[in-house]
Amino acid sequence: MTALETVGAVLAAGVQVALVVVGAPYLTGLMRQVRARLEGRAGAGVGQPVRDLRKLFRKEATRPEGTSVVFVAAPLILLASSVFLAAVVPFVSTVASVGGVSDLFAVVAILMLGTVALALAAIDTGTAFGGMGASREITIVALVEPTILLAIFALSVRVGSSDLTDIVAGTLAFPAQVLSPASLLAAVAFAVVIIAETGRLPVDNPSTHLELTMIHEAMVLEYSGRDLAMIELAASMRLALLLGLGVNLFAPWGVATSVAPLALLLGIVMLIVKVALVGVALAVFEVFMAKLRLFRVPELLAGSLLFALLAVAASYFLA
């Protein structure tokens, strides 16, 4: 890689990180505002999560007695993995993913690394709710693994590679592939994956107060101050990352393939528009959805696994 390419890659990565870090809380705010308006309320405004985060950084950080370095390190690992993915996954431009860091299997595994860190921290608190949240989250993540990998399999068949850059480039070159049966089935499976991984309805209710219905919230009950800010920012970023990944796998138009300023600008604008649209759609979907009983969630995940298997079979037989 030449020096110019390295500079370009670093620039693109920096743009993506800045965009995701700044934009993710606004995405969460937009989804909350849409939900509020549909419920007939006025809503707090799109910028409320940013105000909340700013306030959290000024609050005192506490650490329960008896916890170890795992409790303190988990928010860091969670946020660092999200920042890394924001840098290398082709959201705005395909230039930043160099040398094989944006392989789709690696991206999925790094997302899971963050979840595992948080689960270990929850167990470390030594409370029943922390352990319960960790146990449920890990079970759901384990059961959604086959769906993710089979969906990646189906997507990789078209381009002969599981690298994100290749998949995005392949879809840009042959747009009609998006409407193939394999692609559509994989899209449905991926939608369920996004809901399960980010803990949205119907798998998990992000705004519940009842501990026995919590999955993700139960793991963070003991965090405060800047640790809590890191975790909330990471959660928003993971939602933005997964939605952005979904739109760029199935509708990558607008992604820049160079570091020309105009291409980057177009990429930024298109990403914001696409993710905002999908986010609004998800928020509207949530208004009409109730949370599934925890023991019914594996049925939902098995259904999505079936879609993913059908997607792969379609790639075999309808190639």
- Distance in Å, CB of 104 to another protein, minimum: 10
Sign of CA dihedral 70, 149, 204, 191: positive
Distance CA(63)–CA(69), nearest Å, equals 10
Are the C-beta atoms of 253 and 4 separated by less than 8 Å? Answer: no
- Distance in Å, CB of 186 to another protein, minimum: 12
For residue 207, the SS3 value is: coil
Q: Which is nearer to another protein, 156 or 248 (CB)?
A: 156
Closest CA to 90 of 239, 237, 246: 246
- CA angle centred on 293, ends 227 and 244, rounded to 5°: 50
- Distance in Å, CB of 13 to another protein, minimum: 9
Q: Which is nearer to another protein, 142 or 269 (CB)?
A: 142
Sign of CA dihedral 220, 222, 225, 230: negative
Cα–Cα distances in Å, from 50 out to 47, 127, 227, 229, 233? 5, 30, 16, 10, 9
Q: Which is nearer to another protein, 228 or 275 (CB)?
A: 228
Q: Which is nearer to another protein, 2 or 58 (CB)?
A: 58
- Distance in Å, CB of 201 to another protein, minimum: 14
Q: Which is nearer to another protein, 3 or 60 (CB)?
A: 60
Distance CA(294)–CA(89), nearest Å, equals 32
Distance CA(212)–CA(233), nearest Å, equals 24
Beta bridge partners of 256: 93
Q: Which is nearer to another protein, 223 or 254 (CB)?
A: 223
Q: Which is nearer to another protein, 55 or 265 (CB)?
A: 55
- Distance in Å, CB of 45 to another protein, minimum: 7
Token output for 306: 């079936």
Distance CA(232)–CA(26), nearest Å, equals 12
- Distance in Å, CB of 93 to another protein, minimum: 17
Distance CA(189)–CA(308), nearest Å, equals 6
Q: Which is nearer to another protein, 99 or 176 (CB)?
A: 99
- Distance in Å, CB of 192 to another protein, minimum: 15
- Distance in Å, CB of 77 to another protein, minimum: 7
Token output for 55: 């306030």
Are the C-beta atoms of 124 and 98 separated by less than 8 Å? Answer: no
| Cis, bond preceding 49 (omega within 30 deg of 0) | no
Q: Which is nearer to another protein, 89 or 270 (CB)?
A: 89
- Distance in Å, CB of 209 to another protein, minimum: 4
Are the C-beta atoms of 275 and 27 separated by less than 8 Å? Answer: yes
